[in-house]
A = this chain, B = another copy of it.
């Protein structure tokens, strides 16, 4: 895996380059962030020609290492104004990995072009194709069309309607493994709009002729990956507990990430109705358990015709299978896939919506429009906060989101433009963003460590950037850290550094549940990486290197410690039911990156 595809959209040309010697160990987030920090002017306008898009499969993508096929998309973010990496499963990571492509760097923009393009990447080939017929389509239709045009079922990533219109809620969509649902989002940071700014609808990765990437020490690699599979399968969160009975496996397989909804609500840390409570009294109705029951119900009713599913993998080779396919109650056909915890929260609890169908429909619309669900849900909440829609009104929320299809609708544009822009446009002062990016599904007043991550990660508010919740709420690593304890700089830093490493390997972040608990699992995971590269990579220092570069980029972009803060209302408004505020001192926040 040593080729870099460099594409110039100004003159629609491309060239193949070798991976630079000093970049040999970089893939995924390491590759996107370090390339951006070396090549992009941090002060450039994120939606004009100077910005670049960097796509990179994780280091092990395409290998047989379990759950290692994820990929990173990076650019200067139009949402945060800083460096951004967004990470997703789907098919593209493994396809690019098997094609030997370490990264795709997309520069420039067609000057004054009315045309739209797609990029076809195959075995030793690249075509930049004018695809005006792909533009402006809903993404279900687009993926169906591309899979018809390219019957090899390629991986697809790109921008939907929102991104093509340069709106900052836009994520980078990816296609599901086996259906036409655009359910694999490198969602955050508005990177879909960067695709739009370069007039790119899709990057189509055709894996035909690809081969499995070889490890430097293949024997060690194969041994390690087998141990690691065993470790993942044995863990209560990631594993297949009752495999012998041929039925329900681990927590993620049964209930998906949405297993968290009831847990967080119980803990008083589930942001509800625009971050006004930490508990949603109707959480059970839209929980992972409720989805599980719906799938079972429709299976019973519709038999083989039922499309609902849990234990669904987001990318080839994922053994954790936390994804799902949510069926319509009345037909058993697929409604949306997946319906994850963050999306259920953003489009459900945070809006006070407890009708599972409505939440699934909002998610389906986001997927079709090319919107990040976390950002979109928070944006809809701004309309509620402003009194334009009542909290809890699913049908009105759906109606609002549907306006986003209409290019002449100002409401449709605003609901696609992100939480901060919408909040400010509507006169809201309780806008839950850090660095312009909306907060995810954990209230930082109840769970201080995740607040420290939200505030300090270079990514803008992002739970995946340093998921301290694992230690604070889920009791991973045996001992639970008190979520109310204020000394969280060290914890957050450790999670942020490890995450930067994992996001570079191609492994899904959820392997953390297992490797934090099981030293054998951790060592096996590390052995896969080290044997693949043929060198010993120190996890934390590798991660810190990436964080330092990202941080430096943001500093040059104009960020200061003032940007490492939560919005004022988290410090002044107590959160029911425990009536807590975010009281981590600024000094503790600044500690995370001090002397890193």
A166→B427 CA distance, assembly (Å)? 5
Q: Can you give 24 A-B contacts (C-beta < 8 A)? A: A43-B565, A45-B429, A45-B567, A45-B568, A45-B569, A48-B429, A165-B427, A166-B427, A166-B428, A167-B427, A168-B424, A193-B427, A386-B413, A388-B408, A410-B425, A410-B426, A421-B421, A421-B424, A421-B425, A425-B425, A556-B562, A558-B559, A558-B562, A558-B563
Q: A48 CA to B421 CA in the complex, in Å?
A: 18
With contacts A165-B427, A425-B422, A426-B413 taken as known, whether A562 is within 8 angstroms of B388 at the C-beta atoms is no
Most buried by B among A44, A166, A559: A166
| CB of A460 to closest CB in B, whole Å | 15
> What is the chain B residue whose CB lies nearest that of A78?
B424
Does any Cβ of B come within 8 Å of A313's Cβ? no
Residues of chain B with a CB closer than 8 A to A413's CB: 386, 425-427
- Residues of B with C-beta under 8 A to A572: 48
* A47: Cβ under 8 A from any B Cβ: yes
Q: Does A131 contact B (CB under 8 A)?
A: no
A-side interface mostly: loop
Q: How far is the CA of A43 from the CA of B558 in the complex (A)?
A: 16
Chain B residues, Cβ within 8 Å of A45: 429, 567-569
Which residues of chain B come closer than 8 Å to A167, judged between CB atoms?
425, 427
Measuring CB to CB, which residues of chain A are less than 8 angstroms from any residue of chain B? 43-45, 47-48, 50, 165-168, 193, 197, 386, 388, 408, 410-411, 413-414, 417-418, 421-422, 424-429, 556-563, 565, 567-569, 572
Chain B positions within 8 Å of A417 at CB level: 424-427
Q: Within the assembled complex, what's the spacing in Å between the Cα atoms of A417 and B410?
A: 13
Cross-chain contact A569 with B165 (CB below 8 angstroms) = no
Q: Which residue of B168, B388, B424, B561 is within 8 Å of A410 (Cβ)?
A: B388
> CB-nearest residue of chain B relative to A429?
B47
* CB closest chain-B residue, reference A424: B421
Residues of B within 8 A of A48 (CB): 429, 568-569, 572
Does A562 contact B426, Cβ atoms closer than 8 Å?
no
By Cβ-Cβ distance, the 4 closest A-B pairs, closest first, are A558-B562, A166-B427, A45-B568, A417-B425
Please measure, in the bound complex, the distance between the C-alpha atom of A388 and the C-alpha atom of B406, giving whole angstroms.
12
- Report B-chain residues with C-beta under 8 Å of the C-beta of A414: 410, 414, 425
Distance between A48 CB and nearest chain B CB, rounded to angstroms: 5
**Cβ contacts under 8 Å, A43 to chain B:** 562, 565
Determine the distance from Cα of A353 to Cα of B59 in the docked complex, in whole angstroms: 57
A569 contacts across to B, CB distance below 8 A: 45, 48
